[in-house]
Amino acid sequence: MSKATGRRTQSYRGIVDFYDAEYAHNPMLHRDVPFMISHFPARPCDVLEIAVGTARAALQIAQHGHRVVGIDNDPHMIRAAEEKRSASGIDPRRLTLQCIDALELDLGRKFDRVVLLFNTMLNFVELAELDQLLQRVKLHLKPNGRFWVDVFNPDPARLARQRERGIESSVFHVPHLDRTVYRDMDIDIDATAQRQRVCFNYRWFEQSGRERRARVRFELTFIFPRELQMLMERNGLEIEQWWGDHDGASSRVSAIIGRGICHRSRERDHVFTHERARQRSPMTTRVAERTKARVVGALMQTLVRRRKSDITRGGTLDAVVGAEVARPP
């Protein structure tokens, strides 16, 4: 159970047995970890991966010579990660795996890097959970440590659709089960609560020809870039650099994936003002401005297209804009 909300935390993942095969051909997942590691110091670092899953990233980080601790609250994921670690021959002292809820995390030690990848931050749907998570991150950062987080930019067109069925279909093969699986996805978006209910639908055939089906349901929130900045600031973290995609090119800021690297604030007053942003990193400001213009522009177009009755009803997009500006610092 989460202390922040009293709710049982849920996993943002599919079926453990399918997980690696399911994402093996996702181009983004071929780029994200190498891009992140290219921003790590060359010397061996202590790295904490929160929500390590099947160690997709942790193994690569350890193979680059860093000492990694990976935690996940799902014992099945940890078991799958342990099996992969054994198969790869990595010494368990270089990659330690533990089954712990991120919201309860207190390892009693600090790290050069804390990383949270593949949209997993969005799994913490309540504001209180996000705060608690970021406090746990801060607790584990060395004074000059950095926090690397990777979340997608909300797509205003998708928010406006609210309900989608059977989207993003894919077929993948799970070698160790010799099984070919078809997957698609249903999404229901509550824009007022800033939550989306996601359902992964899986179908496959047994050797006998019998069709089998399985479903995995979970909730995600969505976070706009400026909200991410505010969340970090209210938890004493300061955004150092943004990237719009894993090639690091600012011209690709309009890509759906947004990512940030954050570090502990050195000052009590950690407000990251526009002027300071400009002084620190011109790219950071340009990226934030372009992203804001794109998101707000698209939201306004969507609102104009919608009937007035829709706009005044719950679950509409004007509330998202309101919530974004009304959130206290």
Ligand X SMILES: C[S@@+](CC[C@H](N)C(=O)[O-])C[C@H]1O[C@@H](n2cnc3c(N)ncnc32)[C@H](O)[C@@H]1O
Instruction: Scan for tokens 């931050």, then name that residue.
Output: 121
Neighbour count for residue 153 (Cβ, 10 Å) = 21
Q: How far is the CB of 293 from ligand X (least distance, A)?
A: 30
- Give the separation between CA 46 and CA 96, rounded to whole angstroms: 11
Q: Indicate the residue whose CB is closest to ligand X.
A: 53
- Considering the complex, state which of residue 182 and residue 218 has its C-beta at the smaller distance from ligand X: 218
- Give the separation between CA 147 and CA 112, rounded to whole angstroms: 9
Name the residues that contact ligand X, by CB under 6 A: 9, 11-13, 51-53, 56-57, 72-74, 77, 101-103, 117-118, 120, 123
* Helix runs in the chain, H state only: 19-23, 28-37, 56-63, 75-88, 127-139, 156-161, 225-234, 274-280, 282-305, 308-312, 317-326
- Considering the complex, state which of residue 16 and residue 295 has its C-beta at the smaller distance from ligand X: 16
Q: How far is the CB of 150 from ligand X (least distance, A)?
A: 8
- Considering the complex, state which of residue 77 and residue 253 has its C-beta at the smaller distance from ligand X: 77
- Considering the complex, state which of residue 9 and residue 284 has its C-beta at the smaller distance from ligand X: 9
Q: How far is the CB of 51 from ligand X (least distance, A)?
A: 3
Q: How far is the CB of 240 from ligand X (least distance, A)?
A: 21
Strand order in the sheet with 163-174: 163-174, 179-190, 195-205, 211-221
- Considering the complex, state which of residue 48 and residue 295 has its C-beta at the smaller distance from ligand X: 48
- Considering the complex, state which of residue 77 and residue 262 has its C-beta at the smaller distance from ligand X: 77
Q: How far is the CB of 85 from ligand X (least distance, A)?
A: 14
Q: How far is the CB of 183 from ligand X (least distance, A)?
A: 14
Strand order in the sheet with 111-116: 95-99, 67-72, 46-50, 111-116, 141-152, 257-264, 237-243
